[in-house]
Amino acid sequence: MDLLSIRGATAMYGLASACALPAVFSTRVRFQTWCTGLALAGLALECTTFAEIFARAHHFVPSGVHEVQAALALLIALAFLLIAARYRTVSFGLFAMPMAFLLTLHASFGSDGYVFSSPLVRGGWVAVHVAALLAADTALVFSLLASLLYFLQERRLKNKAAPGFFAWLPPLETIDRIAQSTLVLGFLSMTLGLFAGSLIAQERVGASYFQDPKVLLSFAMWLVYVFILLLRQSKGLRGRQAVYLSSIAFLVVLSVWAANLLSSVHRFSAP
């Protein structure tokens, strides 16, 4: 990984994080422009990093811990910019930019000591598998944040409280649309990622792949997605219930990542 460009991206995300506070709590438009502009600059530098990785190693898929962290930061920044462009709100920058900054900060310390040992990292299906699952995790994080913000805004409106500290929150309809769209995107990404992983497993790994703890938890994550989508569609799930379900789904995601320690297929091992 090229340390110069990833460190530049870290600096841009750090500055964007600093601008996110006045962008949200101030009425001055210039802070919003700076926040999105710096986030876009960081995203461009990260794209440069991954272009250099491809030119050097000829693979798109992240092949080590630091590359995975950088890829996740890129997706978080991209999701924030898409939401800012589509819904005209930078509120999510309060959460997205610090997360992107911390992920790239750790990735900028140096090259990885651990990489994926599987020779499949050069395969296109592996790239689809990893990218889709990272996108699903990113979408779920934003869905959880939207559910929390919806709950806060709903309580404020029901209590007829003055805007005060929460004046920066978007309207309920906007927050709900963000929660719904990110949840659908996450479900589609999770489905694609599991399909690609299963396709690879059938050809290269065998039936033991489906006994792997991380694989089992990933399918559990997919079922949680289905359950939440069905509830939102049938019962119009909002507020406190949405927060609870999104939190459970987020805990499952953490369990999936923690399963790397027990996984025989996905764990990082020495080259």
Q: What is the pLDDT of residues 13-58, one digit of tens each?
A: 999 998 988 887 776 788 899 999 999 999 999 998 888 877 776 6
Model pLDDT, residue 215:
73
Q: Give me the pLDDT at residue 85, please.
A: 92
State the DSSP code for 63.
-
E strands along 84-217, which residues?
none
- C-alpha span between 84 and 65 (Å, rounded): 29
Residue-level pLDDT at 256:
67
> In the chain, what are the domain boundaries?
1-111, 116-271
Residues of the chain with pLDDT under 70: 1-2, 27, 57-63, 109-124, 163, 199-211, 232-240, 242-243, 256-271
pLDDT score recorded for residue 23: 85
Q: Which residues of 166-181 are buried (b: 16+ CB within 10 A; e: fewer)?
A: eebbbebebbbebbbb
* Burial class of 98 by CB neighbour count within 10 A (0 to 12, 13 to 18, 19+): middle
CA-CA distance, 4 to 143, in Å (whole number)?
Answer: 33
Q: What is the pLDDT of residue 122?
A: 47
Q: How far apart are CA 150 and CA 89, in angstroms?
A: 14
Contact between residue 226 and residue 187 where contact means Cβ atoms under 8 Å apart? yes
